[in-house]
Amino acid sequence: MYDLIGDIHGHADALERLLQQLGYEKRHRIYRHPDRQAIFLGDFIDRGPRILETLEIVRPMIDGGAALAVMGNHELNALAYHTPDQSHPGEHLRPHHAKNVQQHAETLRQVPAGELASYLEWFRTLPLWLELEGLRAVHACWDEARMAGISGPISDEFLHAACSPGGRLFESVEAILKGKEVRLPPGVTFRDKDGHERLATRIKWYEPPDGHTYRTYAMASEPIDSDLPLPDEVTRAAAPYPEDAQPVFVGHYWLRGSRPTLLRGNVACLDWSVAKGGFLCAYRWDGERALDAGKFVRTA
């Protein structure tokens, strides 16, 4: 069975504590469990104090068969940050402006260039999602229509298409790795976790939008001050996750609180803001169709 683990963001100390709580032991430099396998939900890098050490834990577990993983948006961002933009000489697919430089700065500072190049190549091997017997794992959003348009390896060609706004692949990858968003009404904004003003909010893609307002359809981590109803185009475009579908596990959403809770009976988010004073979180899955909030495991 599987232990699914949320966004780590360079917090290797918390990761080691969590793995030990879950019964993993380090053998020949790899954390292993005698009869379970970990599944990491992406976002290994950026922000935290021990990014290189995090990668040195996670990669050997995956390469050695002790774990599986999906790509997070920070791994995709790193690939784009270091990939030259073929249509704009001297620039990169992820522009090196202040916001992006700040987000990636700790990874650049902590991981030597040669090692970072190796890890970037390894990031290309990470799948965007996993569908296993009885469960699904993706960094931000499960949407089969979006996934149907994605195939092939993470090549430079793929990255160029995934970083080109307006294209089908861009929209699909944005939804899967960063979540679905709705533009806010004129005059309504909010500040995200890093203090940046936002004009759009990430939404509860797993729920039908009928009867929701901007405030109630926004993810709980985004405080939207608007009780206006959602526009018709949002309702028409929605593809809520079926209530009878197999469980899906996500990260990404910077949830807050002292005790993990389910998003829905078959949807669990495991990102509880370890990089912003929260905790690292796992779910011990043993084949159940209906998820159980009592099976979350968090670091102290």
**What would the pLDDT profile of 62-111 be if each residue is shown by its tens digit?**
999 999 999 999 999 999 999 999 999 999 999 999 999 999 999 999 99
pLDDT value, residue 11:
98
Strand 190-191, strand 197-198: pairing: antiparallel
* Cβ–Cβ under 8 Å, residues 8 and 67: no
pLDDT band at 145 (very low <50, low <70, confident <90, very high): very high
Asked whether residue 300 carries a pLDDT value surpassing 90, the answer given is: no
User: Rounded to whole angstroms, how far apart are CA atoms 248 and 241?
Assistant: 9
What does pTM read for this prediction? 0.96
- Asked if residue 267 has pLDDT above 90, the reply is yes
Select 2-176+241-298's CATH number: 3.40.1190.20, 3.40.50.2300, 1.10.3720.10, 3.60.21.10: 3.60.21.10
Residue 53 has pLDDT above 90, yes or no: yes
Q: What percent of the chain is modeled with pLDDT above 70?
A: 100
Mean pLDDT of 258-283: 97
Helix axes 113-123, 73-81, angle to 10 degrees: 120
Give the residues across from 250 on adjacent strands. Answer: 269
For 211-238, what is each residue's pLDDT tens digit? 999 999 999 888 999 999 999 999 999 9
Using 50, 70 and 90 to split pLDDT, how confident is the model at 270? very high
Average pLDDT over the chain, rounded to an integer:
96
